[in-house]
Amino acid sequence: MKKQQIAVLVSGGGTNLQALLDAERDGLIPHGTIALVISNKPGVRALERASERGVENLALDRKSFPSQAAFEEALQTQLKDHGIDLIILAGFLAILSKDFTDRWEKRIINIHPSLIPAFCGAGFYGLKVHEAALARGVKITGATVHYVNEIPDGGEIILQKAVHVQPGDTPEILQRRVMEEAEWQILPRAAEIVCSLLSSQSD
């Protein structure tokens, strides 16, 4: 069985990348292998995490490209050169254009720290999501893995997991609980679901 080649796109610390690397190590993504990690910012911890596991990694500094199109062309070249089948956005804070997402239809997935359609879309990322959830007073939040299209957080949902909000939660405490109880569990599961699907389509 040919394993699906996965590229993980990151922008920061890489905790979700770590969850994927650990899941692959533990045999939980049998239909896929993480072949490449790309950051749109140089010097981030996520690239170190990739190096520690011997995964090829590089930075494509978005600020060094004259346009979105030039950045995406460089990204596309790297993905093609590495034979990538599936892109996973794991804390990747750059928005991808319709032209790019159309090229990768049903082959890009993203993790979002809320139960979509709540607290999602443009401007909702990182702690902002958890601040909004607490401000609204919700009792249950969670995380969602979805396919990526040109609409931020707008693609078809693959998996969701609910997490209870506790009295006294701060955005930081809630963020950590959502990561531990939802994000780090459903992202590897979704990766395997999509890799298995892509494998069956290529047989």
pLDDT at res. 92: 94
Full residue range of the structural domain in which residue 170 is found: 4-202
Cβ atoms of 84 and 55 within 8 Å: the answer is no
Q: Which amino acid is at 125?
A: Y
**What does pTM read for this prediction?**
0.96
Q: Residue 58: pLDDT above 90?
A: yes
112 is catalytic: yes
Average pLDDT, the chain: 96
Q: Residue 203: pLDDT above 80?
A: no
What is the rounded distance in angstroms from the CA atom of residue 182 to the CA atom of residue 188? 11
Q: Residue 80: pLDDT above 80?
A: yes
Q: Residue 95: pLDDT above 90?
A: no
Burial class of residue 156, CB neighbours in 10 A (0-12, 13-18, 19+): exposed
pLDDT at res. 1: 78
The catalytically annotated residue of 112, 130, 146, 164 is 112
Number of domains making up the chain: 1
Q: β-strands 140-147, 108-112: how paired? A: antiparallel
Cβ atoms of 74 and 67 within 8 Å: the answer is no
Identify the CATH number of the domain in which residue 13 sits. 3.40.50.170
